[in-house]
Structure 1
Amino acid sequence: MDPPRTKYVLYTWGANSFGQLGQGHAEDQVEPQHVDYGQPSRKLRAIAGGGGHSALITESGELLVCGQNHKGQLGIGHVLEIVTFQLCPLPGNKTVQQVSCGWDFTIILTDDGQVLACGSNAFGQLGVSPQIKHTAEPHFVKSLGESVISIAAGLRHALAVTGSGGVYQWGTGLSSQAKRALNPQPVPAHLISQEPCLVPGMDQLTSQKVAAGSAHSVCLTATGDLFLWGSNKHGQLCSKESFLPLPSALDRSLLNGESVSAVYSGWTHLIAQTESGRIFTWGRANYGQLGRQGPTDDATSVDSVSSSETSLPSEVKTLYGATQIACGSEHNLAIVAAEMRTG
């Protein structure tokens, strides 16, 4: 008998109104379904989901996209919707290290540490000139003066971590909630800037990765700690406060004392993978986006979140050891290795 070999399979599930699941149609999927991304012989380096679009990065650094494209968020030079994954060519034939999809925009990190952005710029979420309202061609975010190692796109804001460990934020997506929550105190600059702005409170830490939701931000440090800030309306920050303007550390006891190796964020839910490979989810559950049973009504709020079981991290055992995970607005993608025997 031949030794076991590993086959990597792409699954997508959840909301699919614009074909963002890449399944060739626009019907929602409650359970994970296998997806053909047109290149079965190529492993995927990374996967990502946004408001109504999704993206894949192949092992060779090619970018594949599908879904909603009305603001040019697929970066393919036009604004037509696509329901199966197609190639997105980049300026100078650059290869891609990471991609993050916002509501109607996309942030792309190249292998040489440069950042590109496409789609809507109505809230400064592209980090480029405010004169650009939207673009179907990826533009470089030139004001990030040094090499970048991690990026994240939220609803209408974005984040980046530079090689020196600095955390930057831009886009005004959190400004309205911040003003209401902090009034009469002023809103910190990083929550209202249309160009990359340094996030305070992280300078003594070694930041490695960022993630973003509709109105919250997350940063993972080299020591495996999570820092969260922004809106806590659906319990996604595991805090008693309705809004956190500055980064606040997540208590490790909520993850059985384990350090975090990876973190992912939907609009109002979070997924964390711990050092042992366990997968924890928490936050909003109205579309089944937590991958586990929980309250399905939409009553979760600041007042009720403390008593909701979804506001605390809980393990999804079927995703144990996942090699890649990504969250869209209210849908998720995951790659899980399975042993196959032949002969």
Structure 2
Amino acid sequence: MEVPREAPAQALFTWGANSYGQLGLGHREDVFLPQVLKGFLCNRETVKNITGGGGHSAVLTDTGELFLCGQNKNGQLGLGHTEDVTHFKLCSSLCGCSVIQVACGWDFTIILAGSGQVFSCGSNSFGQLGISQTSEGSTVSKRIESLQEKVVNVAAGLRHALAVTENGSVFQWGIGMSSQAKRACQGEMVPSFLRARQPCKVTGLEDARVKIVASGSSHATALTDEGELYVWGNNKHKQLVNKDDFVLKPQKIDAHYFGGEKVRRVWNGWTHMVAQTEKVFLGGKTRSYIGVWPQRNPCGVNSSVSGVDCVWTTLLQFPGPCSRSSPALFPGPRHGFRHGPCSCSSLLVALNQALFAKNLVCSPALHQAPWTKGPCHFPSLCLAKCVFRLLDYNFGL
């Protein structure tokens, strides 16, 4: 008789830059090797999502609890004060609301509750909280009351945020993109949604039903339920597949760039974009691959990918044995997390501008991991810019 295998114990690993205690280890020293966050998952449910901003991190459990740590100068942790926190703390300012998604901007946080309500905290210097016409920030999570419709998805950039409503409409707030738009598009009218300090409906998507939004530092993408991809914002590195340096309104990327296939997922890096059909396409500024579309995974292998998510950068896989059922998650920027069975010996590391694909090491020039003494094209792990998560991925090697 076959004996059921015991499920591996869960563990959360963290490493990288730690100037503000964003790794949750209780200190501010940079960490060059993955370290387990001891006791963090004790008596708690599975980690659902991890993400990070300029210097803060957020962990969301599948029971809807939200934990944060790191830089808190502007109250971006939503804990009611502005002191940095070096251990993950439960956000108690949500009044018992169950959280289903969290998006971290540079110095602010956007929180989506199961009820469809959206909350925000942190800096509001550019109206990125969407709560008022003033620049006053908030140290506790405040509801964005002007979002009257039920919201199903959110995203955050450097100084702006996005939300998708149940009927497929997209709203944007925060004026971080407007100054770039004015410089790049002199003489043209800047759309109101790029100048809004409160949620403003994004025009140009009237014929589309959007289900997911993603944001880079100063560009945005919207994926429809028909698998069509719309893009707008800063296009200095041609990450939006457009000749203009700034795309003022949403423009649909023609399907021929994706081999005629529908887009299933999309992720935005700081200045680049990754789109997934049955293959992976990369565009924008990367260390080795710049603005060439369609650009399949750099190794030239048509391998399928599932469950990768990033805000600031993409991923690189270092091969090694690992449980096929292992989930893993990563945030940043400048720091990383890994969530999965503590018995797993393979290391998945966040490195700026490296593309993660199944069974691939997509940077052939990178011969050894950055924490070793061997040659490496990246200065150090703690310099990797990363804000991303990885969920439900099978690491069959």
TM-score (norm 2): 0.70
Amino acid corresponding to residue 148 of structure 1 in structure 2: V
Say yes or no: does 1:195 pair with 2:198.
yes
Equivalent position to 1:128, from 131, 152, 166: 131
Amino acid corresponding to residue 331 of structure 1 in structure 2: C
Say yes or no: does 1:84 pair with 2:67.
no
Tell me what 1:225 maps to: 228
Q: CA deviation at 1:15?
A: 4.8
Bigger strand share: 1
Q: CA deviation at 1:282?
A: 4.2
Equivalent position to 1:171, from 166, 170, 174: 174
CA contact (8 A) 1:48 1:99 kept: yes
Does 35-44 or 186-195 show the bigger shift?
A: 35-44
Amino acid corresponding to residue 334 of structure 1 in structure 2: R
Does 207-216 or 106-115 show the bigger shift?
A: 207-216
The whole-number CA distance in structure 2 between the counterparts of 1:82 and 1:9 is 21
Tell me what 1:326 maps to: 310
CA shift in 2, pair 1:338/1:240, >3 Å: closer
TM-score (norm 1): 0.80
Equivalent position to 2:297, from 303, 314, 328: 314
Q: CA deviation at 1:166?
A: 0.9
Tell me what 1:269 maps to: 272
The whole-number CA distance in structure 2 between the counterparts of 1:48 and 1:246 is 27
Q: CA deviation at 1:46?
A: 2.2
Encode CA deviations 1:305-341: one digit per residue, 9 max, x unaligned.
55xx699463688x9655453334521343355789x
- Work out the percentage of aligned pairs sharing the same amino acid: 43
Does 328-337 or 181-190 show the bigger shift?
A: 328-337
The whole-number CA distance in structure 1 between the counterparts of 2:102 and 2:92 is 13
Tell me what 2:98 maps to: 95
Tell me what 1:216 maps to: 219
Question: What is the total number of aligned residue pairs between the two structures?
Answer: 319
Superposition map of 1:216-255 within 5 A: 216-255=219-258
Larger Rg: 2
Amino acid corresponding to residue 79 of structure 1 in structure 2: T
Amino acid corresponding to residue 113 of structure 1 in structure 2: G
The whole-number CA distance in structure 2 between the counterparts of 1:228 and 1:134 is 29
The whole-number CA distance in structure 2 between the counterparts of 1:80 and 1:108 is 20
CA contact (8 A) 1:284 1:310 kept: no
Q: CA deviation at 1:267?
A: 2.7
Superposition map of 1:65-76 within 5 A: 65-76=68-79
Q: CA deviation at 1:226?
A: 1.8
Which structure has the higher relative contact order (CA within 8 Å, separation 6+)?
A: 1
Encode CA deviations 1:15-56: one digit per residue, 9 max, x unaligned.
544333445555667887765681155212222221221212
CA contact (8 A) 2:122 2:138 kept: yes
Equivalent position to 1:38, from 23, 40, 43: 40
Gaps of 5+ in 2: 312-331, 334-384
The whole-number CA distance in structure 2 between the counterparts of 1:211 and 1:35 is 29
SS in 1 for 2:95: helix
Say yes or no: does 1:156 pair with 2:140.
no
CA contact (8 A) 1:264 1:326 kept: yes
Encode CA deviations 1:281-313: one digit per residue, 9 max, x unaligned.
543446xxxxxxx27xxxxxxxxx55xx69946
Q: CA deviation at 1:92?
A: 2.2
CA contact (8 A) 2:102 2:154 kept: yes
Tell me what 1:104 maps to: 107
CA contact (8 A) 1:321 1:336 kept: no
Tell me what 2:21 maps to: 19
CA shift in 2, pair 1:121/1:9, >3 Å: same
The whole-number CA distance in structure 2 between the counterparts of 1:264 and 1:67 is 24
Amino acid corresponding to residue 284 of structure 2 in structure 1: G
The whole-number CA distance in structure 1 between the counterparts of 2:37 and 2:265 is 24
RMSD after superposition = 3.2
